[in-house]
Structure 1
Amino acid sequence: MTILKTYARLWTDELDHSLALLRELTGAEPDLRFVFGSIQLAAIGDFLVIAGPPAERARFSHASATVIVDDLDALTSTLAAAGAEITAPVSTGVTGRFLYARHRGGAEVEYVEWIPELVERVMGAGISR
């Protein structure tokens, strides 16, 4: 199991306002942009911008980071061996499969295994499963 990318989470009321500054700071356009329920998300540079009404954002605020991995099944074994607790089981979204886990010590992280097309588009050639 390999970590492909780690995103710092940024919480905002309005996605486009936040993206304007991040475009300037990173010199890049968002790698992806999508809707998950009533939440809008965009990944730009090493940031995952999460926008929507405060009550809806609060449903996801327990995780301190989003980590992209190449093999969610192998990650589950690694987490179990390290004493982590799966707090939200493997589910599927538009970007691939994901789960939430609380590490020993209390940090909670969202782990995502992207669909192959997204790995290729964001990470480029040379990264494959």
Structure 2
Amino acid sequence: MAILKTYARLWSEDLDKALPPLVELVGADPHLRFEFEDVEVGAIGDFLVIAGTADAAARLPRGTTTVIVSDLDQVQTVLTSHGAEVTFGPAQGPTGSYLFARHADGSEVEYVQWKPELEAQIIM
């Protein structure tokens, strides 16, 4: 089991307005962009921008960060052995399997195991 990538989550009302300064700061174009439920998601560098209305955002589980992992089942085992509670999932999304967990200290984190082809495209 390994952590492959970590994203800082940014919430926005407009993905097209949020991405240009990040493109300039990171020096690259977004490596992911997709729609999920009622929001748009864009990933660039170590930022994950989630854009939509306040109502759409309120319906999604909250997390302070998104962590890409090699084995979601092993992560869930480790987390629960340390007192974490899975608050949503595991479920399937556009990029792979994911869950949200509240750690024993109260922090909330999204963990994602990417589809193999996505992992190979971005991590390799």
Instruction: Name the TM-score class by shorter chain.
Output: over 0.9
Shift of 1:57: 1.1
Shift of 1:81: 0.9
User: 3-state DSSP class of the match of 1:28?
Assistant: coil
**Cα offsets for 1:21-42 (capped at 9, x unmatched):** 1000000111111100110001
User: 3-state DSSP class of the match of 1:49?
Assistant: strand
The reply to whether residue 45 of structure 1 matches residue 48 of structure 2 is no
**Cα offsets for 1:61-119 (capped at 9, x unmatched):** 62111100000011111011111000012000110000000001100000000000110
**Aligned residue identity for 1:49:** V
Q: Which residue of 2 aligns with 1:127?
A: none
Equivalent-residue separation in structure 1 for 2:61 and 2:115 (angstroms): 24
What is the aligned residue count?
A: 124
- Structure 2 unaligned segments of length 5 or more: list them: none
User: 3-state DSSP class of the match of 1:87?
Assistant: strand
Q: Which residue of 1 aligns with 2:15?
A: 15
User: 3-state DSSP class of the match of 1:106?
Assistant: coil
Q: After superposition, where does 1:28-107 map in structure 2 within 5 Å?
A: 28-60=28-60, 62-107=62-107
**Aligned residue identity for 1:37:** E
Q: Percent identity?
A: 52
8 Å CA contact 2:61, 2:88 repeated in 1: no
Equivalent-residue separation in structure 2 for 1:14 and 1:4 (angstroms): 28
Shift of 1:58: 2.1
Equivalent-residue separation in structure 1 for 2:4 and 2:59 (angstroms): 25
RMSD value, Cα: 0.9
Equivalent-residue separation in structure 2 for 1:44 and 1:82 (angstroms): 31
User: 3-state DSSP class of the match of 1:105?
Assistant: coil
User: 3-state DSSP class of the match of 2:74?
Assistant: helix
Moved more, 92-101 or 54-63: 54-63
TM-score (norm 1): 0.93
Equivalent-residue separation in structure 2 for 1:19 and 1:61 (angstroms): 22
**Aligned residue identity for 1:117:** E
